[in-house]
Amino acid sequence: MLMKKTIAHLILLTAIFSLVAHYGFGQSKQLEKADELYDQLAYSEAIMAYEKILEKHPDFTAAMVKLAHCYRKTGRSEKAEFWYGEVVKTKDHEPIHKYYYGQALMKNGKYNDAKAWIRDYAELNPDDRRGMFALKTIENIPSYFKDTANYFVWKLIINSPNADFAPAFFDEGMVFSSARPSKDLIEKKHSWTNENYLNLYYSKGKGNTFLEVEPFSDNVQIKYNDGPVAFSQDGGEVYITRNNVVKKKVFTSEDAVVKLKIFHARMKDGNWKDLTPFKYNNDEFNCAHAFVSPDNLRLYFTSDMPGGQGGMDLYYCDRDSANAEWNAPVNMGEAINTEGDELFPYQHADGTFLFASNGRDVLGGLDVFYTHQKDTTWMDAKNMGAPVNSSEDDFGIIFNTKTHYGYFSSNRESKGVDDDIYSFRRMLKVRGIVVEEGTDKPIPMAHVKLRNSSNDVLEMTAGEDAMFEFPIDYDEEYTVEGTKESYSRDFEHFKTIDYFPSEDFFVKLEIKKQERVYNLIVKVRDRETKKMLHNAVIGIDQTNKTLGKTDKKGVYMQPLERDLQIALIIMKSGYDPKVVTLSNVGQKIDKDFEVVVDLKKGADVGKFARWYKIIYYDFDRSNIRPDAVKTMMEVLQFVKANPEVRLLMNSYCDSRGTNAYNERLSRHRAEAATQWLVNNGTSRSVVEKMEWGGETMLMNKCADGSICSEEDHQKNRRTEIRVIRVAKDLSSNK
């Protein structure tokens, strides 16, 4: 007798969700009963039925095959390995059974045992790329584990003993699907794995710390399976995968299966409203796992609609600019889709596209892959490798660009039974090699520098293999430069801003042998006599670092660096020190960089020779702006701690404006800086001298008629403050 129809099951571990109409056994034969359960996707019940048959008829190949399929579909790889192993011993086995047997062996970490079975299948079915991909995995196993040390992976505390998977960022936390017990008096279970139906839950948190889990909005959930979900970037829209149930009415396909559908809702007045089905849903095939691109202009999803590569394929719809509707779906092609299943799409802010697949070079079950689009073409996808991927199912990856933590789902601990959510963080590195330009011959022992946006520098000597490696941070911009004595220099720029950490950065620096090395040459002379000055000290401004001294010809010389940007202080006893700013940023090194510095005679100020401050002004202004107040406070503290010092205020302008106007403006700037000190408690006599030079002492090449940035002009609108005398008689302070 037929029993009442009930709603059955969701494909949990491969994340292909569907409900079926489930009929009772009646009094039909055992095999018919088992096959009926199998066809209705009631695998947990079908397993028991087939096992009973095989207890009495252990050589019944058809029952073996179906039982092996049930264990594979429910993720029980050890049982699947055993029964496929029995199937391939029979004369009635098919080539696909060899593939499934090899796949089960791989999921159980037996890669060497799997190789022969996978090779046989690949030779028998060359058009099915799954065999080729699986052989690639087996033959290159070490390469999938080479980055393991770069990752930290944690299992989140919000996991339950049941399935928890597919997190999505929302409202300072995450929403995820879970089969944990609900508050219903009667727990509903699906016949695929005999687990509870999925519901959506929310937890607030970041990094590895998340608060107590609570149910997500009831407005978008039904009593069957809900999830995964995806949100628009502003959190105002949600796309949810669920069973094809609308207003409590169940819709089935022609073969009585309730397919998966995507539904959409908007946030209005704090609640999800206007829940509507995706326009490309269809009762005859699944549409699931929607994800909205970072720019909100593309919707990715998975489907087994006709015309795909096989299994579940990934598709996208672009938004019509005219009416904001989604255009017709486009299959993402062979670079991404295979004869297997491609699921759980995700796109990072830097354009990296990630998804899960069991049809590529996987370590066992589902693995996470990533790719990029070049022009309009998707590049071949790469396996993320361990420890994100394992021999079990790994999928549903997302990444937080603020905290730099990623999250993914895996059933690695339960051996394919229940999923958990994990977090990960990858340490970033830049690796590279220094080679000879034109030949790519490695150049050992080259000198390599890494410089960040704050001008912090790490240096090292490359090894005999010419390789180098530096640790790097997120949200930074870097320059790597390589050189060697009597060689040219080469550099590469890269940034880690909005970067998905799929692999290390790699840089190839190409340098070539030079007949000569170009130099930075500083010539120092007396301002009045133009006589070259011997033993003038060349130091780095406002530091205690001395680079060297001028020789008997008044010349200091060192190898010229690419993108040099530095402020030097030039000092000699009996002369006022002078600061010069040098820059060759963006210029080729094809000649010496020479600068002539004229020093003016002055008093010997001893230990205060290197003390120097500088403040800057807004265009056409002389007032002391807020950022200059901090520097002026340092000057104030200095003169109070050293009442014997006497200062020089030396002010200048940029080149814009007439010479006469700039002369007056620079005078006002010197007077304003002096008056600030007086107003804040110093004697006017502390400033012994004021000088102003209008636009006569530019720190760079931004003279009249030059094209310069505002940043370059800013360097010339300044007052230089330095010690010009040390008083022995302090009565003048009274």
What is the pLDDT at residue 577? 83
Mapped to the 3 state alphabet, what secondary structure does 184-216 carry? CCCCCECCCCCCECCEEEEEEEECCEECCCEEC
What is the pLDDT at residue 4? 27
- Three-state SS for 105? helix
- Three-state SS for 650? strand
Residue 376 lies in a domain: no
CATH of the domain at 639: 3.30.1330.60
Q: Among 321-335, 646-660, 693-707, which is the least confidently predicted range?
A: 693-707
Average pLDDT, integer, range 530-537 = 92
Inter-helix orientation angle 61-73/77-87, to 10°:
160
Residue 23 lies in a domain: yes
Same domain membership, residue 113 and residue 14: yes
Asked if residue 423 lies in contact with residue 438, where contact means CB atoms within 8 angstroms, the answer is no
Same domain membership, residue 12 and residue 138: yes
Residue located via tokens 């394919």: 416
Span 568-579, pLDDT tens digits: 888 888 888 888
Q: Is pLDDT of 15 > 70?
A: no
What is the pLDDT at residue 195? 62
Residue 259 lies in a domain: no
- pLDDT band for 223, please (50, 70, 90 cuts): low
Same domain membership, residue 136 and residue 10: yes
- pLDDT band for 224, please (50, 70, 90 cuts): low
Residue 11 lies in a domain: yes
Name the residue among 490, 477, 484, 473 with its Cα closest to residue 451.
477
Q: Is 30 left (phi over 0), alpha (psi -120 to 50) or beta?
A: alpha
Asked if residue 626 lies in contact with residue 633, where contact means CB atoms within 8 angstroms, the answer is no
Same domain membership, residue 721 and residue 611: yes
Same domain membership, residue 526 and residue 470: no
CATH of the domain at 480: 2.60.40.1120
Residue 726 lies in a domain: yes
Residue 126 lies in a domain: yes
Same domain membership, residue 560 and residue 432: no
Hey, what amino acid is at 158? I
Report CA Rg, the chain. Answer: 36
If one counts every other C-beta atom within 10 angstroms of the C-beta of residue 355, the result is 29
Q: Is pLDDT of 262 > 70?
A: yes
Q: How far apart are CA 422 and CA 157, in angstroms?
A: 9
Same domain membership, residue 587 and residue 505: no
Domain boundary among 91, 120, 148: 148
Q: Among 17-26, 123-132, 197-206, 486-495, which is the least confidently predicted range?
A: 17-26
Q: Is pLDDT of 246 > 80?
A: no
Q: Is 216 left (phi over 0), alpha (psi -120 to 50) or beta?
A: beta
For all residues of the chain together, what is the average pLDDT?
Answer: 87
Same domain membership, residue 534 and residue 467: no
How many alpha carbons fall within 13 Å on the CB side of residue 522? 31
Task: Tell me how far CA of residue 135 lies from CA of 77, 117, 393, 494, in angstroms.
Answer: 19, 10, 19, 35
If one counts every other C-beta atom within 10 angstroms of the C-beta of residue 284, the result is 13
What is the pLDDT at residue 586? 66
Same domain membership, residue 644 and residue 586: no
Residue 403 lies in a domain: no
Average pLDDT, integer, range 592-619 = 86
What is the pLDDT at residue 122? 93
Q: Is pLDDT of 9 > 50?
A: no
CATH of the domain at 23: 1.25.40.10
Supply the pTM of this predicted model.
0.68
Cα dihedral: 599, 603, 604, 608 (round 10): -90
Cα dihedral: 205, 208, 211, 215 (round 10): 80
In 304-348 the beta strands, taken as DSSP E runs, fall at: 313-318, 330-331, 342-347
The CA-CA-CA angle for residues 217, 219, 223, to 5°, reads: 90
Tokens of 56: 């009495």
Task: Tell me how far CA of residue 592 lies from CA of 104, 127, 435, 534, 538, in angstroms.
Answer: 67, 62, 25, 21, 18
Domain boundary among 511, 534, 566: 511
Burial string for 509-524 (b: 16+ CB within 10 Å, else e) reads bbbeeeeeebbbebbb
List phi, psi (to 5°) of 271.
-135, 155
Q: Among 213-222, 324-333, 715-724, which is the least confidently predicted range?
A: 213-222
Contacts of 651 (CB under 8 A, 6+ apart): 666, 667, 669, 670, 673, 690, 691, 692, 693, 718, 719, 720
Contacts of 339 (CB under 8 A, 6+ apart): 128, 129, 130, 309, 310, 311, 359
Same domain membership, residue 470 and residue 546: no
In the chain, how many domains are there?
Answer: 4
How many alpha carbons fall within 13 Å on the CB side of residue 155? 11
Choice between 24 and 693, residue whose per-residue pLDDT is larger: 693
Tokens of 454: 């704050």
Residue 524 lies in a domain: yes
Q: How far apart are CA 583 and CA 195, in angstroms?
A: 68
Q: Among 30-34, 181-185, 346-350, which is the least confidently predicted range?
A: 181-185
Q: Is pLDDT of 728 > 60?
A: yes
Contacts of 683 (CB under 8 A, 6+ apart): 732, 733
Contacts of 443 (CB under 8 A, 6+ apart): 434, 435, 436, 462, 466, 484, 487, 511
What is the pLDDT at residue 192? 47
Span 618-650, pLDDT tens digits: 999 999 999 899 999 999 999 999 999 999 998
Task: Tell me how far CA of residue 696 lies from CA of 10, 594, 609, 653, in angstroms.
Answer: 79, 19, 24, 8
The range of the structural domain enclosing residue 448 comes to 428-511
The CA-CA-CA angle for residues 46, 178, 352, to 5°, reads: 105
What is the pLDDT at residue 542? 63
Burial string for 534-571 (b: 16+ CB within 10 Å, else e) reads eebbbbebeeeeeeebbeeebbbbeebbbbeeebbbbb
Task: Tell me how far CA of residue 209 lies from CA of 170, 214, 230, 405, 534, in angstroms.
Answer: 15, 15, 21, 11, 64
Name the residue among 659, 654, 636 with its Cα closest to residue 701.
654
Q: Is pLDDT of 16 > 60?
A: no
Domain boundary among 118, 148, 178: 148
In 437-542 the beta strands, taken as DSSP E runs, fall at: 447-452, 457-461, 467-472, 477-483, 490-495, 505-511, 519-526, 537-540
Average pLDDT, integer, range 282-305 = 95
Stretch (H or E) spanning 166? strand 164-170
Contacts of 528 (CB under 8 A, 6+ apart): 600, 601
Average pLDDT, integer, range 691-701 = 79
Same domain membership, residue 720 and residue 681: yes
What is the pLDDT at residue 607? 82
Same domain membership, residue 609 and residue 597: no
Q: Is pLDDT of 511 > 80?
A: yes
Q: How far apart are CA 41 and CA 75, in angstroms?
A: 14
Q: How far apart are CA 436 and CA 457, in angstroms?
A: 24
What is the pLDDT at residue 640? 93
Hey, what amino acid is at 645? V
Strand partners, 47: none
Tokens of 322: 């005219």
